[in-house]
Amino acid sequence: MSSWAIVAVVAIAVWGIVQAIKARHGITTDKDGNQHRVVEEDQETRKEIEALRERIQVLERIATDGNSLDATETKRIATEIEALRDKQDS
């Protein structure tokens, strides 16, 4: 194999590796040769993160509802009712 053929094979291999790396990182080339990074995945990821944040807020609300003013008032009233029932039974 001649030295020019080896140079051609190495150049094609390097070009292929570069294209694979660009594809992995979401870089595309338009018809004019300008390179752009694909933004759709970033927007999709942001939407998913926002949805997860909303779910976390709901879970935090559920976890802390027992400590809210309404829950404390409800527990106090329930305790009073139970105390009145105990007095009636005695």
pLDDT digits (tens, 9 = 90+) for 29-63: 888 888 877 766 677 888 999 999 998 888 887 77
Residue 81: pLDDT band (50, 70, 90) is confident
Q: Which residues pair with 28 in a beta bridge?
A: 36
Beta partners for residue 77, in sequence order: none
Question: Bridge partners of 49?
Answer: none
Give the span between the Cα atoms of 82 and 88, in whole angstroms: 10
Domain segments of the chain: what residues?
A: 3-65
Provide the 3-class DSSP secondary structure of residue 83: helix
The total of other beta-carbon atoms located within 10 Å of residue 22's CB is 14
Query: Three-class SS of residue 39?
Result: coil
